[in-house]
Structure 1
Amino acid sequence: MTSPQRSASTRVGEDDRESAVSRVREAYAEQRIAHEEMDDRLDRVLAATTYGELAVALDGLPAEDPGTTATIAAAGGRITRRGAWQVPRTLTVESAFGRVRLDLSRAVITYPVVDIELRLGTGNASITVPRDAIVEVEGLTTGWKDLRYRPRQPSRPDAPRIRFSGAVGYGRLRIRHAWR
């Protein structure tokens, strides 16, 4: 966390704090730390004012893998992902105007938990998840239309868990499970 340009006494920026929060949450999602330890570490990360304090809060956690986070963004037009595409651990989808279509039914999901943050302005979004996926939508807010999602029972205990968060402005969001 610290580098030659960032001494232990240098004040922490918001981007570094958000990155530290993501590392703690990822360690919890990978079952490397218990819930109580996650709460304690998050409290210390959010209270840290210097890089030295932040390093202490993250001590013992695995280093962040830069390949586990991706952003798909478009100011206007369509965003489409389908077929056998690699799903990162954390995916952010940003669209000001336009339609979003994510098909995860044939995607390569290598992580037990995938976090998808939606930052959508105007336009409809359709997301297809694997048939046996466990979907969590508690962190998601919709502005104009309600979310259309009907949960189903996972068919296997090691089914991927997909957690949605973020906000959808004007448009309909539809999340459905694949038929096969």
Structure 2
Amino acid sequence: MRVSDEDRERTTQQLQQAFSEGRLTPSELDERLGLALSAKTYGDLLELVADLPSPQPQVSDVVELGSGNGNVKRSGDWAVPRRLRVSSKYGSVELDFTEAVVPHQVVDIELDLTYGSAKIILPEGAVANVDGFQSDWGHPTSKVPSRPRPGVLSVVITGRSRYGGLTVRYPRRRWFTH
């Protein structure tokens, strides 16, 4: 399969990381970067990094989650794709990113909800844009900043809920008493 400019860029970043770790010499880096920038297929790119450690877990670019009557929930240590499509007819959606592996700086979430609401919990400091989400009866509520910042997870939420809302927040603080 043919590669995109983004695929080439991801490979060049992996090569540069390997060079900074001392895994490649300057001449090896130059040679591999030239080949990466002119690569046409995934096989061409994979050959350039086959002898290097993988920078992060491989995550699909698009994952679709759905439920007719139940709830959709992701929490704990889970791999977050670049784009997440979630549909739920009669249940709620909860996506907890606080312990998730997020290899992308920007994650797009598309929600299609009929009779349920969605709750998205982001790690401290992350931002979320909910301007592309519409609700016929409920309303979107975001308790996190929306303006993207360099080096910070940015979540863009689009889609629709007919009879439910959307809440985006940071984890609840735990108060301990002695």
- The CA RMSD measured in Å over matched residues stands at 3.1
Correspondences of 1:49-88 after superposition (within 5 Å):
67-88=60-81
1:109 equivalent in structure 2 = 102
1:170 equivalent in structure 2 = 163
- Give, in angstroms, the shift of residue 77 of structure 1: 1.0
1:122 equivalent in structure 2 = 115
TM-score relative to the length of structure 2: 0.61
Contact 1:131/1:179 (<8 A) preserved: no
- Give, in angstroms, the shift of residue 149 of structure 1: 1.3
Q: 1:153 to 1:71 in 2, by over 3 A?
A: closer
- Give, in angstroms, the shift of residue 139 of structure 1: 1.3
TM-score relative to the length of structure 1: 0.60
Give every structure 1 segment of 4 or more consecutive aligned residues whose post-TM-superposition deviation is greater than 4 Å.
62-66
Aligned match for 1:160, one of 150, 153, 167: 153
1:136-167, Cα deviation, whole Å (9 max, x unpaired): 1121111111111123388x741111110111
More strand by share: 1
Greater C-alpha radius of gyration: 2
Q: 2: distance between equivalents of 1:85 and 1:66?
A: 10
Q: 1: distance between equivalents of 2:146 and 2:78?
A: 25
- Give, in angstroms, the shift of residue 96 of structure 1: 0.8
- Give, in angstroms, the shift of residue 66 of structure 1: 8.3
Contact 1:132/1:153 (<8 A) preserved: no
Q: 1:143 to 1:110 in 2, by over 3 A?
A: same
